[in-house]
Amino acid sequence: MKFNRILTIAALAASTLFVVSCATRQVTRVNTDETIDVSGNWNNSDSRMAADELTGKILGANWIDTHQNEHQGKKPVVIVGFVQNKSHEHIDAETFLKDIESSFIQTQKVRLVQGGKKREELRAEKADQQTNATVSTMKQFGLENGADYILQGSINSIVDAHKRQKVVYYQVNLELTNIQTNEVVWIGEKKIAKYVKN
């Protein structure tokens, strides 16, 4: 009887120690430019890599010179549209798009206008000012910069898996379209492949 009780206490102590050791979590701060791939899924490094490469391609392409030649040297005005996630996993394209927008602003090769929900919020603010702001500070409707081009795209993936191995292939496609003519003036892609072995 005593032996069973001692055995039970020992088993409880061992299981408690096991649970506590499994629950221990260690967090380490890392450089945001460092590539760390824990799951094999799309991550911040993939987003940054795709944005950097595609931004370099789009800002180095001939469409900017063509636009400036046709419009007395004026910089093209670009709106960033929707990038659709067609991949097998949840990917939030906003960080990717913010990296591209940031590059547009920093290089000063193009002018960037707000789109989507942010544009709606700006218009709502202008509407509010029509009744709540002084006439001298009120912003007027109809004076926005119209975009010359819209950037749109998609993120696609293919998974090839067998037993405990898989290759995940991502492809980011972007297209820049002239809003007036619907002419596609630039197309770019970035491919990323990951081999994951469990």
For the segment 10-66, what is each residue's pLDDT rounded down to a tens digit? 666 666 656 555 567 887 777 767 777 677 788 888 888 898 899 999 999 999 999
**From CA 19, how far away is CA 124, in angstroms rounded?**
53
Instruction: Write the DSSP assignment of 141-194 as a string of letters.
Output: TT-PPPPSEEEEEEEEEEEEEETTEEEEEEEEEEEEEETTT--EEEEEEEEEEE
Instruction: Write the DSSP assignment of 91-153 as a string of letters.
Output: --THHHHHHHHHHHHHH-SSEEE--HHHHHHHHHHHHHHHHHS-TTTPPPTT-PPPPSEEEEE
Domains, the chain, with CATH or none: 42-197 (3.40.50)
Order of strands, sheet of 111-113, starting from the edge strand that comes earlier in the sequence: 111-113, 77-85, 149-162, 165-178, 184-197
Against a cut of 0.85, is the pTM above it?
A: no
**pLDDT of 79 higher than 80:** yes
**From CA 176, how far away is CA 18, in angstroms rounded?**
56
Give the position of tokens 């007395």.
72
Find the mean pLDDT for residues 130-153. 92
